[in-house]
Chain A
Amino acid sequence: MRVLVVDDSSTMRRIIVNTLKKLGHEDTVEAGDGKEALRALAAGVPDMIVTDWNMPEMNGPQFVEAVRSQPALAKTPVLMVTTQAGKEDVIVALQAGVNDYLIKPFTPDALKEKINSLTRKP
């Protein structure tokens, strides 16, 4: 399974990638903002996307809207990991096309649970 991890913090990307590896998902691609992530998507469709909200160039909701506008990515699971914790923020993210939402700070178990939930086959 290939996972695209999008966050302007290299430390946060490393934390997420490490968690994915512990769950057996070794194939990861990293991007520092939405625009870089869209370029990465042009090179191949991932099985899951984990994205931050607050990033330079293109923020998380804008990136997810761009993802959902591509038919090949319409059903790719997207997890947003962010400090944006308001009810209205969650609504904006869901309207953009996010499947699930994790608020920073988070425990490793919480991240694992969200990833497992989104990657579980129906």
Chain B
Amino acid sequence: MRTAATQTVAADVPVVEVMVTQLIAVTRDVFATMLDKTVEFGEPSYTGPQPTANVVATVGFAGTLSGYVSLCLSYDAALEIARALLGSEADEAPAHVRDAAGEMANMIAGSVRTAMAERGETVGISMPIVTVGTDFSTAALRDVSQAVCPFKVGQQNMFVYLVLQGKGRG
């Protein structure tokens, strides 16, 4: 089943760059479809660490490719996402900040999995894990490929952070 967000990428491109291309496409699609919001992406960088954020929603994946995808948000950005998802129930938004961020990360990771499956990759994804706080960071300690994809929704700066085990092959 082909998704609207799937992008065609040349076969000789490194897998981390292929995944970044797909991540950008599906993130645009998830925000447009679920929140009716336009996303403006900046240039991705192929280094870590994870960007500083108050709300980090992470979904792991394992199979022919292994690693994880994190949606990194300020608290205000996460609150805006919760409000947009809930629509008329926006008063409930503060109580849904963690869950809304996790669900957005789940949809982004799930859509990337579908896009990568069309390239012959078979991966399963984990349940989302959401970390909320201030002054914290995470680090991938083993040999990994990383990418930080900055984007803007309205006035809110957000990031998608990709960590891929090794050069992408498990």
Stretch at the interface among A8-16, A68-76, A112-120: A8-16
Residues of B near A11 (CB, < 8 A) are 82, 85-86, 96, 99-100, 103
Residues of A near B168 (CB, < 8 A) are none
Stretch at the interface among B106-114, B137-145, B156-164: B106-114
| Chain A interface (Cβ < 8 Å from any Cβ of B) | 8-12, 14-15, 18, 54, 56, 82-87, 90, 103-107
* A105–B3 CA distance with the chains assembled, in angstroms: 10
Q: Decide yes or no: A15 and B3 within 8 Å by CB, A105-B29, A105-B107 being known contacts.
A: no
* A11–B113 CA distance with the chains assembled, in angstroms: 22
A-B contacts, 6 of them at CB < 8 A, read A9-B106, A54-B106, A83-B107, A86-B117, A103-B1, A107-B33
B49 within 8 A of A: no
Closest to B109 in A: A83
How far apart are B75's CB and chain A's nearest CB, in angstroms? Answer: 16
Residues of A near B1 (CB, < 8 A) are 85-87, 90, 103
Q: Decide yes or no: A85 and B99 within 8 Å by CB, A9-B106, A11-B85, A103-B1 being known contacts.
A: no
* A105–B102 CA distance with the chains assembled, in angstroms: 13
Contact A8 B127 (CB under 8 A): yes
Q: Decide yes or no: A85 and B114 within 8 Å by CB, A11-B86, A90-B1, A105-B29 being known contacts.
A: yes
Interface centre among B30, B100, B109, B125 (most CB of A within 10 A): B100
B12 within 8 A of A: no
Contact A105 B106 (CB under 8 A): no
Closest to B117 in A: A86
Contact B127 A54 (CB under 8 A): yes
Interface centre among B3, B30, B100, B103 (most CB of A within 10 A): B103
